[in-house]
Chain A
């Protein structure tokens, strides 16, 4: 076998994990939220997002209605003047 490959196998041989490694993993695993808790959190987020989307659509509808009413009010005054002009000319 090639001497360099031999040396590489020696240099890159597996090393033991640090002392207490498995205990640290087990401890961190214990404090992680369980699967059920993660699903509950995800479901709560979906509900909140859906509520926010509904409120946003309602707000957009209200805004659109307000703009239409404003436009009607703005156009009503000139129309009234035009009607008076037409009436005076016809008389």
Chain B
């Protein structure tokens, strides 16, 4: 590790510590499987270690890790031919009367609903709401037009709103 730090100016251990939550969470929220997400995240960091010589700045490291994680997670999803694990119709309906803003049940329901989205809109949602990225940044990470990113966001939000409303969850459905 010392050798790496001296050669490149970047301490691999420090980069690992700083970015492990981001890398793991992108994989987890996209794949909806902790074990697979951990495996993908480990591979991403091993890849970073092999490519440490090419890292030019802290910002470059963050962008590089994000992009590689996105690609690895998508590849893993395809490799396992993992269709959305839960069909929308199968998602357990929460007790609508008891759901309030910030309720962990609502968070779990949202994660399950996101897992049912198609590959591209799912990753767009993860990058937008986990990483708080702007559409242009998401477009760069996914190598797609900004207009497509915005379209995925709008459609996904509308779909989620509709599914939640059907379950009695929403601004008009808050109780208490």
Contacts and interface: CB of A to CB of B under 8 A. Distances in A.
Contacts, number: 90
Given A3-B101, A21-B42, A22-B17, A12 B106 contact: no
A6 B114 CA distance: 15
A6 B132 CA distance: 11
Interface residues of B, number: 41
B125 A29 contact: no
A76 to B, nearest CB: 63
A35 B34 CA distance: 31
Contacts of B42: 21, 24-25, 28
A26 interface: yes
Contacts of A12: 25, 29, 110-111, 114, 125-126, 129-130
Interface in A1-47: 3-18, 21-22, 24-26, 28-29, 32, 35
Contacts of A15: 21, 24-25, 28
Most buried by B among A14, A22, A24, A35: A14
Contact of A26 (B13, B102, B108, B128): B13
Contact of A14 (B21, B107, B108): B21
Interface stretch (B67-75, B137-145, B157-165): B157-165
Chain A interface residue bracket vs B: 20 to 34
B49 A29 contact: yes
A21 B130 contact: no
Contacts of B64: none
Contacts of B130: 12-14
Contacts of A13: 25, 130
Given A14-B130, A21-B24, A29 B46 contact: yes
Interface of A: 3-18, 21-22, 24-26, 28-29, 32, 35
